Amino acid sequence: MAGLCAAPSIAQAHAIAGDRVFPSTLAVDDPGVGDEANFEYGHQRVPGDNGDQSINTFSFEYDKLITPRLAVSIDGGYVMQNNPRAAGFDNFGVGLKYLLYVNEPHELMTSIGVNAELGGTGSRAIADNFSTISPTVFVGKGMGDLPDSLAYLRPIAITAEAGPALSTGAGQPNAFNYGFTVQYSLPYLQQHVHDAGLPQPIASLIPLVEIPLSRSQGQTTGTVNPGFIWMNRYGQFGVEAQIPINRASGSHVGILVQAHLFFDDIAPTTLGKPLFQ
């Protein structure tokens, strides 16, 4: 019964299509819009000019709803690296995202957006002096419309994003960024398929795999990120490994850790309220 009692609280939190709540994933952006704040820590070892390079990143993003379907965002990050040793802020970014379509019976959601990394706004030791513009399409699909014979597959959801990263720097290469996630929602299992009596915090977990990828100059880089997200009414906590798909993507398994706040439930009449209804 614990999972059934949690249904109304979680369902107010984030990107909702019918019975489906798409969590805010760590590496591949979800298809929803909301009043939210995201904080992440990441660690990776990647190839550098003088051998492997260890990179630690502390990043943040704040999203604000202008209308119930349109959100603006600001993001940034602090980077520490060795070989060569350097530390400082990366370029800051601004974004716009619009919730284009929601089909509740089929748990389908699509959005479009654009993000601009503003060249020269970060530390000279870390950040690029050119900007990057990234228009992106976001899609999410839950499997809640499967027949009763496949009921235990209904907690599965798939999300994806795709779009170019267009550089403003002379001679700087463009890229095509894309990725997808596969999720199995234990809250969905408890609330909409079968109450298995799972104890907390297990009943609020969403095991998932994210695969963020980028292709530039004929080479694809990326990682496979198995992990989990724990979600409640006011926010979520996530942890993922980052497994490089090839040598160009990294030399060791990295880690991502996320803390995420839903202001539409924390402060629904003030900070979590759209500017225009």
- For the chain, where are the alpha helices, taking DSSP H only? 2-11, 186-188, 263-266
Name the residue type at position 72. Answer: V
DSSP state for residue 68 in the 8-state scheme: T
Check whether the bond before 201 is cis (ω within 30° of 0): yes
User: Residue 159 and residue 110: Cα distance in Å, rounded?
Assistant: 10
Fold of 2-266: Porin (2.40.160)
pLDDT (0 to 100) of residue 47: 82
Summarize pLDDT for 84-110 with one digit per residue, the tens: 899 999 999 999 999 999 999 999 999
For residue 126, the tally of other CB atoms under 10 A from its CB is 19
71: three-class secondary structure by DSSP:
strand
User: Residue 27 and residue 178: Cα distance in Å, rounded?
Assistant: 11
User: Which tokens belong to 52?
Assistant: 């492997």
- What is the full per-residue pLDDT of the chain (277 aa) written as tens digits? 333 333 333 434 479 999 999 999 999 999 999 999 999 999 999 887 777 889 999 999 999 999 999 999 999 999 999 988 999 999 999 999 999 999 999 999 999 999 999 999 999 999 999 999 999 999 999 999 999 999 999 999 999 999 999 999 999 999 999 999 999 999 999 999 999 999 999 999 999 999 999 999 999 999 999 999 999 999 999 999 999 999 999 989 999 999 999 999 999 999 999 999 8
- pTM of the prediction? 0.92
Residues 6+ apart with CB under 8 A from 218: none
Domain segments of the chain: what residues?
Answer: 2-266
Q: What are phi and psi of 187, to 5 degrees?
A: -60, -40
The H-or-E segment that residue 95 falls in is: strand 93-103
